[in-house]
A and B are shown apart, each in its own frame.
Chain A
């Protein structure tokens, strides 16, 4: 089995699994046989691939494949189905709580994808719930959740996250995880309004509770922008989500809106790379005129820098001074709507001052100095927060 490289794209082995889970007929069968030959099922199914197995089971079953692994795969599907239903049940309780305080909600990612796109409760295993609320309701929502037994994680970063971030994580006594978002993507930030995600949202029912979800185009946009970031556990699920949306017979993408969102949130590089990959490897059909218009979009220096960082380092914890500074600068540029070199640099200084406010300068310097030796936490006892 080939090892994962630093990339948000699947390895060749993961690609075979995705093809077996997503394609139809002969190409699916070929990919399935190759994947089995390449992977030791007992020892080499890493987490990212494991999460694809319920979808694989459904595809193999729809092709009436007869294979000794089918019963094991069915068991994995059963577990995913049960786990997801329990999570949906929990999510409905949280939504009910927020609605009782007149806080509007949109459910994002897995839960919305399950109901609106996959239309199957077992194929997409989930570990947490993702709920979007308006930025203006964020403090009230956090208060409501905390009073109801949800514990805010990394509390010390909340003020910074409310200004420059997009979400916070909560856990309850049963270790259920809730990601509360006030911006749908990092790129939708500051003075860049993200109201249109709310305006275009569609009604959705989660375990009996009414809420909303992104419309299919916004869902596709979110899948690409959120997915194309390197992660130590390769986020290959974006491929499955994107291909399922593109191949869906019940929902179709509004290519004009997708182009508009791509331009507005400066995501043309992610979109180009993703669509190029999907059309080449998954027989996905994409609007020709959309691709032509996409090719005309010129990226800026900061767009390129942010995307290069996302592909190479993404959500990995920086290990050196260079990686740390690169990550901080890319994180700043990603959410900044400032244009012009000097405006951006002044903005960065303000960003850093806010990021490091209240922290003793000698500890900050010690932290960066210790990065030179690649062991910051061991030396200073300081987590990556500067």
Chain B
């Protein structure tokens, strides 16, 4: 993924919402469900707002120079995964200002944990889970017996 590439959420096929610091994503075409936590949720929100993933890398590496290479590689891999899953697509448009996300991303970079895409496929089976009894303490879609493959 070239740093110059601008990205946007692949609407209307992909719907998403951020709740309590977790971004939840649903690909309506494939039925795949995704969950992004911590820095992953912040980077997702940043790209959704600005379209500029290179700026996210800049902000994070400036805030934590000691881990510059690790951060660059992790974020690049994360963004490539999102593109590969068709959650993000290239765009020519320009995004909005990141607002308070700028500060939040810098903060996340200081205690950097690599962003991860948690993928849950086979939505039909997931929806059959009873969200009170069949799930562990993390709640749906984390199944009690065997967590779905990430």
Contacts and interface: CB of A to CB of B under 8 A. Distances in A.
Interface stretch (A66-74, A213-221, A289-297, A307-315): A66-74
Given A86-B28, A121-B17, A78 B141 contact: yes
A61 B19 contact: yes
Contacts of B140: 75-76, 78-79
Given A61-B19, A86-B28, A121-B17, A76 B127 contact: no
Contact of B20 (A74, A76, A82, A207): A74
A375 interface: no
A244 interface: no
Interface residues of B, number: 24
A89 B17 CA distance: 16
Nearest to B138: A71
Interface of A: 41-42, 45, 50, 61, 71-79, 81-83, 85-86, 89, 121-122, 207-208
Interface string B118-141: 000001001101011101011111
B86 to A, nearest CB: 16
Interface in B98-150: 123, 126-127, 129, 131-133, 135, 137-142
A75 B17 contact: no
A86 B31 contact: yes
27 contacts: A41-B132, A42-B132, A61-B20, A72-B132, A72-B137, A72-B139, A74-B20, A75-B138, A78-B19, A78-B139, A78-B141, A79-B129, A79-B131, A79-B140, A79-B141, A81-B17, A81-B26, A82-B26, A82-B33, A82-B123, A82-B127, A85-B26, A86-B26, A86-B127, A121-B15, A122-B19, A208-B12
B59 interface: no
B137 to A, nearest CB: 6
B137 A85 contact: no
A86 B135 contact: no
Nearest to A73: B139
A59 to B, nearest CB: 13
Interface string B8-31: 000010010101100010101001
Contacts of B129: 79
